Amino acid sequence: MSRVIAGAGVDTKNGDGLPPTLEWIVDEAGDGVLRLIDQRLLPGELTFLECRTVAAVADAIRELAVRGAPAIGAAAAYGVAIGARDDGGLAGAVAAAVTLRATRPTAVNLAWALDRTLDAVRAAAASASADAATVALGVAHRIAEDDVAANRAMGAHGVALIPHRARILTHCNAGHLATVGYGTAIGVIRAAWEAGREPSVWVDETRPVLQGARLTAWELQRLGIAATLVADVMAGSLMASGHVDLVIVGADRIAANGDVANKIGTYALAVLARHHDIPFYVAAPTSTIDPATATGADIVVEERDPDEVTRFGGTAIAPPGMPALNRAFDVTPAALVSAIVTEHGIVRPPF
């Protein structure tokens, strides 16, 4: 991975002042490169990573330089295209998919995007109709474009759920930065804001990796949407004092029965929302729904390095040797979900 300085890649296409989360560019030597925002450095630094190898894409996903279920799906598809280009067509694509699939276990969009890309490469190889790398790159571009379109469609549908001047609590980052553009849960908030509904957002900081404080805050600030940061522990108090009208979050995998795996802390918000009779919404593209997973009990929850809990940035916050547990996701039962917003419309229980 090489670094490029801030300022590169500012998105003029969408006109929203947000640089692309990820983008396929052609460098001076004529080589295709996956360029993505290094989200580990936000909000302090806006820096881009250029991934030229499968290993670089895998590292970027594993180390959270790119994160968010839809964004890692698209990044992985580009990784397969790099594998097909550099390692002999179909065999390279298959090897790339093996490497990329192992990076993170919970988000199903990763597996979905890899399978979609590989299927196309295999079909092309079987009919000898086209070069594997070209086919894979075409599928990756389509996944990226479809993602933005799906997010805009989710926004258009979801806006019906957002009352005028709603005070909305969100967790983690399910925005532009979690997707190829526009966002899922934040996309719905953006659509409400674009429709003049004047939403305001409570941004959960989202320990341990602080995607809320670092990414959602940055994104909403750039968009000009009113937002206030809170520590995760404050959500219950805000609901009890009548300051939250609804909760909306993204998802990393939705089981066939509607159970939702999402960033750790989501489940507690759903329980709190139910206790206070506040709607709890999930916004996710249908690529996040996994028919092969019957219920949430079948979802593998990633456990990450305990250092993410015992350290904060570079600083130790716990005494040396303190054991810590770092579950990255939790599962919210379908019974606690008021509605799921997809690109095809709003689905209400029973799912």
123-135 in b/e form (b: 16+ CB < 10 A) is ebbeeeeeebbeb
Q: Which two tokens stand for residue 14?
A: 């969408």
237 contacts its own copies (rule: CB under 8 A): yes
351 alpha-carbon distance from chain centroid: 22
Least Cα distance to 43 among 217, 234, 262, 184 occurs for: 217
- Cβ proximity to its own copies: between 150 and 177 the closer is 177
Is there a contact between 334 and 259 (Cβ–Cβ < 8 Å)? Answer: yes
* Least gap, CB of 103 to its own copies (angstroms): 22
- Cβ proximity to its own copies: between 130 and 268 the closer is 268
Report the residue from 168, 180, 309, 339 that binds its own copies according to the rule CB under 8 A: 309
Q: Which residue has the tokens 């881009």?
A: 48
- Cβ proximity to its own copies: between 4 and 234 the closer is 234
Site for its own copies in 262-281 (CB under 8 A): 263-265, 267-268, 271-272, 275
Bridge partners (DSSP) of residue 261 are 253, 331
Site for its own copies in 93-122 (CB under 8 A): none
175 contacts its own copies (rule: CB under 8 A): no
Task: Out of 204, 232, 252, 290, pick the active-site residue.
Answer: 252
Under DSSP, the state recorded for 298 is G
- Cβ proximity to its own copies: between 85 and 304 the closer is 304
Q: Which two tokens stand for residue 240?
A: 């009890």
Active site residue 252: yes
Please tell me the distance from the alpha carbon of residue 47 to that of residue 167, in angstroms, as a whole number.
32
Report the residue from 233, 294, 300, 335 that binds its own copies according to the rule CB under 8 A: 233
- Letters for 2-41 (x = contact with its own copies by CB under 8 A, - = none) are ----------------------------------------
**3-state SS class at 36:** strand
Which residues contact residue 115 at a Cβ distance below 8 angstroms, ignoring those fewer than 6 apart?
Answer: none
Only segment of 71-79, 119-127, 148-156, 201-209 that touches its own copies (CB under 8 A): 201-209
330 contacts its own copies (rule: CB under 8 A): yes
Please tell me the distance from the alpha carbon of residue 5 to that of residue 253, in angstroms, as a whole number.
34
**3-state SS class at 3:** strand
- Which residues of this chain interact with its own copies, rule CB under 8 A? 43-44, 205-208, 210, 213-214, 217-218, 221, 227-238, 240, 263-265, 267-268, 271-272, 275, 301, 306, 309-310, 312-313, 315-319, 321-327, 330-331
Catalytic residues: 252
